């Protein structure tokens, strides 16, 4: 259990739930407490969030009063399941079931019900009748049904609701009253085993999320001072603490003890224990646990690395930049675990349907029991039996579980392949996307442009001359305060030419949205801006042909002024991502059109990139507000539209789209977008689309199957052709079928098949 510093918001980790109905029971019970503003329980993650001024002890007591429990640790964000969690995932079904008291009682009940099942149901022609068969069947009802009866009583007493446990209790007691002893026992046994099977599949779904966390190491090697050094005690007055003679030494410590600013040592082949920045060494790193990319990524001093990545051939020293609870893998796990809270419209439909469906069938069952005997002289026992069978048919388990198990399986699969869905709602929204808009820089291109040319108005004609170096030095002084990808290119070029330290970083730097940046360098106002901005503000007629030629060649040009005079221009080129063309080609095959590139570059540069990647339309010279307008127009024309950007300067357009998709594992990307592509491989985009469509097809098939079987048994029961225990068996069977069908999505392949 994790409590906030204030009791306004509290988080609890709930155990003992088998199905979504259990979560609804707990949620309703907590909401009935005084001073509770909102209680929301995520069944898939077993996380209960409570808002209100209520002591935690009171909340825990209510949870336990309802028959469930609270643990101290998140079941999905820890590689090891909590000791107190009696529903922790087991490696196989039988060990999982045997560790539960409720299931052991059900298995004992099955043994007691077996004689009645054989001689009363399967072999009645033998004529073997004995009161002991009825006694064992009633005993089976009592033993297997005790947890169900208890849960039903709690639901009525605390929540004032009729849930599935209440329906099963009424059906079992009613069956005993009319003498259907064997069926009463079978109802309880099958229902209890079915609940256990649902609990097992739910645990397996949570285990698939936990497996993401299991890739992170528990320990790391860190450089720390030698403490209380026995070899130097007493030397020069040293009496303990950090040893001044030994310096730093390698120590193996738990990752939870690592602090920001400390230095890790990662040997070749080791997993990196924490997010950080390389301070010494070069290597190739396998980032597949985070980004889903199978290729190795070259890393050198200054590059960022992720916890759970696998180091390659070189030893690295890494400065820790995040705590264990805030690193990329932890944020990834938490977001996946919480994704179910953003319910898809399909899931909300199922929840609403089940809410009205169950009471409606209860009313129908009452009418079936009363109307025929009362008005048509039919057998009361016969029609009461049919009414009890209807109550069993009313069980919404298969329907309720049909959607969440599919969505969480798809979401966890996506996370393993570097695609983070922030919720089931976004998974469903992506499946309906008809058109996509793309930012250029950092999305379709690598976002790491390089300076091709720096030309001053005083250029001396050489490949590299002093006036051009001066222009680059002035520009880099301003761009030091900018986060734009083009700024990185300027800084890299100035460092390469050795002029990066000629001027201090500019003062009073201001960003001119969509136009450039300006700042004061040694008392001189230096502006770096777009061609459009200079056309409107600073004369540069003599250089227009040169700038236009660079634009026509497909380069991005940045014009520079010193005071109010034009000083020259810098031409920059950004390489297209190797995966862009393949990704867009597959999107076209999937029927997504148009594919529109939105960029602030001029038309010539935009057209050059568009031809390379294969977009179907281009909108150049876009300011941020122009991108928002473009996305809004696409929504009006095509309905569901996705916007793909780098998550840094595309936030308004991402928010405007039906689905905002960010590429990159930065904190900005993970917070801004609805879907995050954690790696640089854009082929994850068509994978995400195919996965979302497969998930919604699975959800629709599960819903249709669940409702179809319900309606079929409804007809059979009313016609007198169905039995109580067969109705339970069918419900358990359908629940398992939709669960297995949904869990297939955990293995949905990244690459297109067939």
Residue 56's H or E segment, with its range, is helix 56-65
pLDDT of residue 239: 75
pLDDT of residue 2: 47
Scanning the structure block, which residue is given the tokens 């000791």? 83
Three-state DSSP at 36 gives strand
pLDDT of residue 6: 45
**β-strand pairing of 617-619 with 595-598:** parallel
Classify residue 125 by its DSSP letter. Answer: G
Residue 220 to residue 236: CA distance in whole angstroms: 33
Measured over the CA atoms of residue 487, residue 493, residue 495 and residue 500, the dihedral's sign is: negative
Measured over the CA atoms of residue 354, residue 355, residue 358 and residue 360, the dihedral's sign is: negative
Total length of the chain = 754
User: What does residue 12 show for φ and ψ, rounded to 5 degrees?
Assistant: -130, 150
CB 453 within 8 A of CB 550: yes
Active site residue 439: yes
Residue 365 to residue 706: CA distance in whole angstroms: 20
CB neighbours of residue 288 within 10 Å? 20
Nearest to 665 by CA among 269, 305, 153: 305
500-540: pLDDT as tens digits: 889 998 998 888 877 889 999 988 999 999 888 898 888 88
Cβ neighbors of 656 (< 8 A, separation 6 or more) are 628, 631, 632, 635, 643
pLDDT of residue 680: 80
Nearest to 208 by CA among 414, 393, 68, 353: 414
Tokens describing residue 246:
């030994």
96-137: pLDDT as tens digits: 777 778 888 888 988 998 888 787 767 766 767 778 888 998
How are strands ordered across the β-sheet holding 524-529?
A: 450-456, 565-573, 556-562, 524-529, 516-521, 507-512
Residue 13 to residue 168: CA distance in whole angstroms: 28
Nearest to 1 by CA among 84, 79, 66: 84
Query: Can you state the angle between helices 724-743 and 181-213, rounded to 10 degrees?
Result: 10
Query: Can you state the angle between helices 404-416 and 181-213, rounded to 10 degrees?
Result: 20
Q: Apex CA 558: angle with CA 553 and CA 564, to 5°?
A: 135
Q: Which of 53, 275, 382, 439 is catalytic?
A: 439
Nearest to 699 by CA among 730, 671, 739: 739
Residue 632 to residue 652: CA distance in whole angstroms: 11
Residue 554 to residue 556: CA distance in whole angstroms: 7
pLDDT of residue 312: 85
Cβ neighbors of 75 (< 8 A, separation 6 or more) are 13, 15, 45, 46, 81, 82, 85, 88, 206, 210
Residues of the chain with confidence (pLDDT) below 50: 1-6, 76-90, 754
Nearest to 622 by CA among 636, 605, 638: 605
């Amino acid at each position: 259990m994790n409590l906030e510093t204030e009791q306004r918001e509290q988080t609890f980790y709930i155990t003992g739930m088998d199905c979504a109905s259990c979560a609804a029971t707990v949620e309703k019970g907590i909401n009935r407490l005084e001073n509770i503003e909102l209680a929301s329980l995520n069944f898939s993650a077993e996380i209960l969030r409570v808002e209100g001024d209520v002591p935690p002890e009171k909340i825990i007591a209510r949870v336990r009063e309802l028959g469930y429990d609270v643990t101290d640790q998140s079941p999905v964000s820890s590689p090891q399941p909590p000791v107190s969690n009696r529903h922790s995932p087991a490696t196989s079904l039988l060990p999982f079931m045997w560790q539960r008291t409720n299931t052991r009682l059900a298995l004992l009940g099955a043994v007691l019900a077996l004689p009645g099942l054989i001689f009363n149901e399967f072999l009645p022609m033998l004529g073997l009748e004995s009161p002991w068969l009825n006694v064992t069947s009633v005993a089976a009802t009592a033993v297997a049904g005790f947890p169900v009866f208890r849960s039903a009583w709690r639901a009525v007493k605390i929540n004032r609701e009729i849930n599935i446990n209440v329906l099963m209790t009424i059906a079992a007691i009613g069956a005993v009253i009319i003498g259907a002893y064997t069926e009463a026992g079978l109802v309880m046994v099958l229902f209890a085993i079915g609940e256990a099977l649902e609990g097992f599949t739910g645990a397996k779904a949570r285990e698939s999320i936990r497996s993401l966390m299991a890739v992170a190491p528990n320990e790391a090697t860190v450089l720390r001072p030698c403490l209380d050094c026995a070899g130097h005690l007493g030397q020069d007055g040293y009496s303990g603490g950090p040893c001044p003679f030994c310096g730093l030494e390698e120590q193996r410590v738990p990752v939870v003890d690592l602090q920001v600013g400390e230095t890790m040592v990662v040997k070749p082949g080791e997993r990196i224990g924490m997010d950080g920045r390389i301070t010494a060494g070069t290597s190739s790193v396998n980032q597949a646990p985070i980004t889903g990319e199978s290729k190795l990524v070259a890393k050198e001093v200054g590059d960022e690395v992720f916890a759970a990545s696998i180091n390659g051939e070189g030893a690295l020293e890494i400065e820790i930049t995040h705590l264990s609870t805030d690193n990329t893998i932890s944020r990834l796990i938490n977001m996946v675990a919480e994704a179910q809270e953003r319910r898809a419209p399909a899931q909300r439909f199922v929840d609403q349907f089940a809410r009205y469906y169950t009471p409606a069938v209860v009313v129908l069952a009452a009418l079936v029991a009363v109307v025929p005997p009362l008005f048509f002289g039919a057998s009361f026992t016969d029609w009461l039996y049919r009414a009890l069978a209807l109550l069993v048919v009313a069980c919404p388990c298969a329907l309720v579980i049909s959607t969440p198990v599919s969505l969480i399986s798809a979401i966890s699969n996506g996370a393993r392949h570097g695609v983070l869905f922030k919720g089931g709602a976004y998974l469903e929204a992506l499946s309906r996307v008809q058109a996509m808009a793309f930012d250029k820089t950092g999305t379709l291109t690598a976002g790491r442009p390089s300076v091709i040319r720096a030309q001053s108005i005083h250029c001396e004609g050489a490949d590299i001359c002093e006036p051009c170096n001066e222009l680059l030095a002035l520009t880099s002084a301003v761009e030091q305060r900018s986060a734009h990808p083009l700024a990185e290119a300027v800084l890299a070029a100035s460092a390469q030419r050795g002029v990066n330290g000629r001027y201090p970083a500019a003062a009073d730097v201001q960003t001119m949205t969509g136009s450039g940046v300006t700042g004061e360098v040694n008392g001189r106002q230096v502006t770096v801006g777009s061609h459009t901005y200079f056309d409107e503000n600073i004369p540069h007629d003599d250089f227009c042909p040169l700038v236009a030629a660079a634009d026509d060649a497909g380069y991005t040009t940045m014009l520079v002024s010193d005071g109010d005079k034009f000083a020259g221009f810098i031409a920059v080129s950004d390489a297209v991502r190797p995966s862009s063309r393949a990704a867009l080609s597959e999107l076209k095959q999937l029927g997504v059109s148009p594919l529109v590139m939105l960029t602030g570059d001029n038309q010539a540069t935009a057209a050059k990139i568009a031809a390379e990647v294969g977009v179907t339309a281009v909108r150049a010279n876009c300011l941020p507000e122009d991108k928002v307008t473009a996305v809004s127009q696409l929504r009006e024309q095509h309905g569901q539209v996705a916007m793909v950007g780098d998550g840094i300067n595309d936030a308004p357009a991402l928010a405007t789209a039906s689905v905002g998709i960010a590429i990159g594992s930065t904190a900005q990307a993970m917070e801004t977008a609805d879907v995050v592509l954690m790696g640089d491989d854009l082929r994850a985009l068509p994978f995400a689309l195919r996965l979302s469509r497969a998930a919604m097809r699975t959800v629709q098939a599960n819903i249709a199957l669940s409702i179809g079987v319900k309606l079929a048994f409804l007809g059979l029961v009313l016609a007198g052709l169905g039995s109580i225990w067969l109705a339970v068996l069918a419900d358990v069977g359908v629940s398992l079928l939709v669960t297995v069908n949904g869990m297939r999505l955990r293995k949905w392949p990244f690459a297109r098949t067939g």
